[in-house]
Amino acid sequence: MLDRMLRVDHAGEYGANRIYAGQMAVLGRSQTGPLIQHMWDQEKKHLAKFSEILAENRVRPTILLPIWNVAGFLLGASSALLLGKEGAMACTVAVEESIAEHYNSQIRALLEQEDPDRYTKLLQIIKEIRDEELEHHDTGLEHDAESVTGYWLLKNAIQLGCKAAIYASERV
């Protein structure tokens, strides 16, 4: 159970980094650049944390990283390119909401274990990261994510993709 959890969390943070890299490639020099950079910097720390925990527990990362590398970057860059800053923010809202929900369900699962005390440190880390994902989500909303044309459809399509990515990354 723990291996699967750590593997999917690492994959998610890896994908998030690639999404923000794609957004920065398009919007890096715009007014929104510093805002996106700030979120990306936090994602770098999330990824470093999970890389460290993976190594400590001798868990291998998912074999799908090369796919998340390309898919994440393309998602970040294309939403920014086609739909501008609002498109990028809508993408952020969709992804961060999915990740925060995912972390919440992990927190519940860990608390339901017979010996949750064993996971005190991990729970603390996941909660801290979850809170930052929620900040990213709120940042997206505050910067006009909902004003993009087709917001609902875009958000749901991206979240469907996130669910599929989570499902796959837990398994291989």
Sole binder of Fe ion in the list 9, 15, 19, 43 (CB under 5 A): 43
Q: Does 97 bind Fe ion (CB under 5 A)?
A: no
10 or 85, CB closer to Fe ion?
10
Near Fe ion by CB under 5 A, which window of 58-66, 68-76, 96-104, 143-151? 96-104
Q: Give the closest residue to 89 by CA, choosing from 144, 26, 150.
A: 144
85 or 137, CB closer to Fe ion?
137
Rounded CA gap, 51 and 159, in Å?
A: 24
Q: Which residue is nearest to Fe ion (CB)?
A: 46
Q: Does 86 bind Fe ion (CB under 5 A)?
A: no
Helix (H, G, I), strand (E, B) or coil at 13: helix
Torsion angles phi and psi, residue 58, rounded to 5? 50, 45
Rounded CA gap, 17 and 130, in Å?
A: 15
DSSP state of 116: G
Type of residue at 16: A
Sole binder of Fe ion in the list 5, 6, 16, 21 (CB under 5 A): 16
Sole binder of Fe ion in the list 136, 154, 162, 166 (CB under 5 A): 136
CB of 88 to Fe ion, least distance (A): 13
Q: Give the closest residue to 91 by CA, choosing from 37, 145, 44, 40.
A: 145
Site size toward Fe ion (CB under 5 A) is 7
- Give the footprint of Fe ion on this chain (CB under 5 A): 13, 16, 43, 46, 96, 133, 136
